[in-house]
Structure 1
């Protein structure tokens, strides 16, 4: 009988751009598509965020043509978890074997310097769990150090939201930094797909990263493959 792993999905609490009235937040499909893969194994999951409570969703990500978004929008358990996310400071990392950092531009502000998040990543990874992230959620890995003092992402194969995608989205002047640049500065082995906004993932041991929203489902599939088929 296959083991049942518990999943922790971390979402942003940040909603404000510095110079725009439009709100940012979680990019919805980066969670719904990942959850859809976890549901195939009936894996239990929790949603957490830096501040806890309601997870704000980037309005631009609410695509009614996305049948997976629609499916999970009508899932009462999922909606309850979105409305009552666990505060990161209250998370017990020992309960989880899979960690997933979802993106949306908001995560660029409240993931990188969050010490509670860094501790959760470190503990789950060092206990042999899987750590996955997609899009801007990869920013939550930037400053994670392991117990021996080494940086988690140093010399690791990684991807994340690219500079060209940020420019196409016309938000390169709004974010606090460009994720691709920062990942390269941290000495990770960054790669991106040849065509922007198409699915691209990287796998390095128990670290799985996806470039953009379209990569979320593939990240989920790869996480399950690594957990169940090796």
Structure 2
């Protein structure tokens, strides 16, 4: 029985590893397309497409226009512009792969023209390589300018080593996401391990929750969060530490995530923000001179005073937010339970609870407009 169980586990991990490898190869193929079309590099574009691929586009009066991939590639054949950014900003929205076929959705922004293209691809693995077999696209007006916000979330699905389930606060994610998206920002998610994250506090009777819970692109992002190594910190204007019980684990002492946040703050002049238990994530951040980021600053988050100290979950906490912030020189402020409260101290924006998440996001967009 033990040998059988071991064999099953080995088979599962082989399947998982193989699936991840295939996704990475598909990702590489799509990046050839994105980077090639953004920098007029016809060799990279050609590397993405099957030689006899077709593009199904909209022509005059929205009539179907079938363009062979070779002709499409020629549109970017400009020696004088090769390697120079042409204003196209690409982002992979989703990938769905089964055996040797896959579909993918890619967003292409052209901020100078306030245009957003949504590209849909059919891919197939041929002779060991993934190739785009066909592409279709649609165009719409957009206020997206390519500026990005990074949501920092946790993979922890239990309180410590207990059997008590926990998750990232869905409300704190969607409330802030809605604000940023409406202002034209693109949002990425990063977690210590990457991949799927647990979410909690979901009420499908609330229209906002329902809107995002059944949005396949949004839920794909939560199911495929990025690993820290996949994040280029210079791409972000702000980081946002999401709360929920999960926030107490994996994130606060993660060195890679700390580096990302402090790069955004110190090198990019960006904003660090948190809400509720997400404030645990900023408790150990240090500036270049070795001082705690919170030292001398007003900070908000879920206060220790409101925790149920006799509850099993509380006994699993690795540290206390308010106590740690104060020990690190921060000035912890909070209000009555279940009332919105945010603190803004220069480029540090923190909120007390889920009710504060919208206000935190709005303050961030306000500060970014002034910067």
TM over 0.5: yes
- Equivalent position SS for 2:274: strand
| Aligned residues of 1:105 and 1:175 also touching (Cα < 8 A) | no
2:182 corresponds in structure 1 to 40
**1:75-224 to 2 correspondence within 5 Å?**
75-126=215-266, 127-167=268-308, 170=311, 171-193=313-335, 195-224=336-365
1:82 shift after superposition: 0.5
RMSD (Å) for aligned C-alpha atoms? 1.9
Equivalents in 2 of 1:186, 1:148: separation in Å? Answer: 14
1:36 shift after superposition: 0.7
Equivalents in 2 of 1:160, 1:149: separation in Å? Answer: 23
- Equivalent position SS for 2:318: coil
- Equivalent position SS for 2:284: coil
What TM-score, normalized by structure 2, do the two folds share?
0.58
What TM-score, normalized by structure 1, do the two folds share?
0.92
| Aligned residues of 2:309 and 2:315 also touching (Cα < 8 A) | no
> CA deviation digits over 1:71-91, x for unaligned, max 9?
111222211100100012321
Equivalents in 2 of 1:181, 1:196: separation in Å? Answer: 18
Query: Residues 154 and 40 from structure 1, CA distance in 2 versus in 1: closer, same or farther, beyond 3 angstroms?
Result: same
- Structure having the higher strand fraction is 2
| Aligned residues of 1:155 and 1:188 also touching (Cα < 8 A) | yes
Structure 1's unaligned 5+ residue stretches are: none
2:211 corresponds in structure 1 to 71
Equivalents in 1 of 2:198, 2:238: separation in Å? Answer: 23
| Aligned residues of 2:153 and 2:247 also touching (Cα < 8 A) | yes
1:131 shift after superposition: 1.1
Equivalents in 2 of 1:166, 1:67: separation in Å? Answer: 29
- Equivalent position SS for 2:315: coil
Equivalents in 2 of 1:18, 1:12: separation in Å? Answer: 12
> CA deviation digits over 1:110-156, x for unaligned, max 9?
12211011101110001201111111111111111111222211011
Query: Residues 169 and 111 from structure 1, CA distance in 2 versus in 1: closer, same or farther, beyond 3 angstroms?
Result: farther
Equivalents in 1 of 2:265, 2:350: separation in Å? Answer: 14
| Aligned residues of 2:181 and 2:187 also touching (Cα < 8 A) | no
Equivalents in 2 of 1:21, 1:226: separation in Å? Answer: 41
Q: Work out which structure has the larger RCO, using CA pairs closer than 8 Å and 6 or more positions apart in sequence.
A: 1
| Aligned residues of 1:163 and 1:181 also touching (Cα < 8 A) | yes
> CA deviation digits over 1:85-112, x for unaligned, max 9?
0012321101111111101111112122
| Aligned residues of 2:265 and 2:271 also touching (Cα < 8 A) | yes
| Aligned residues of 1:112 and 1:143 also touching (Cα < 8 A) | yes
Equivalents in 1 of 2:160, 2:274: separation in Å? Answer: 25
1:62 corresponds in structure 2 to 202
Larger radius of gyration: 2
1:69 shift after superposition: 1.3
1:20 shift after superposition: 4.8
